[in-house]
Amino acid sequence: MARIDESRPFLPVNIAVLTVSDTRDLTTDKSGDTLAERLTADGHNLADRAIVRDDVRAIVDHLRRWIADPQIDVVISTGGTGLTGRDVTPEAFESLFEKKIDGFGEMFRWLSFEKIGTSALQSRATGGLAGGTYLFALPGSPSACRDGWDLILKWQLDNRHRPCNLVELMPRLTEV
């Protein structure tokens, strides 16, 4: 699956982790821990980490701050992607997208289907681009975070991945 060109030097990416939850804090945020541990173990920088409540305005406000921060290249969130009334993460993210990365959500659901069958249709994982920053929203379970990172983002955020990756596009994301 992954093809890494070992002749190229690895370039770490600055990644912020956002947990969307009305009930978690840093001591109980297993999904945020999973993402932070995995991205740093793979050589990337944890640029920031936060928890916000399940509220469109709170999520959008936090994302806007990170999008405006030139030290943050990528935001990965966990939580709020389901179907209940409080699950508003996709609405918040997509309101900011300049370009949607349709394949991210499609691929996440396809990979989830292989593990959890038709229950994968309940995921509204999404990805896109805003202000030159990649934004990815994953479901709120450690398992979903492992799958999203290990099977998709780990590879697309590695500049050595062939035939292409998201990192090599970063210098051109804000072209007009």
- pLDDT digit string, tens, across residues 10-35: 999 999 999 999 999 989 999 999 99
State the pLDDT at residue 176. 82
Q: Is the pLDDT of residue 1 over 80?
A: no
Beta bridge partners of 138: 78
User: Helix, strand or coil for residue 89?
Assistant: helix
What pLDDT was estimated at residue 70?
96
Indicate the pLDDT class of residue 2, thresholds 50, 70 and 90.
Answer: low
**Residues 140-170: tens digit of each pLDDT:** 999 999 999 999 999 999 999 999 999 999 9
Q: If DSSP codes are grouped into helix, strand and coil, which group holds residue 72?
A: coil
DSSP string, 21-71: -SS--TTT-HHHHHHHHHHHHTT-EEEEEEEE-S-HHHHHHHHHHHHH-TT
Q: CB under 8 Å to 136, separation ≥6 — which residues?
A: 74, 75, 76, 77, 104, 125, 126, 127, 148, 153
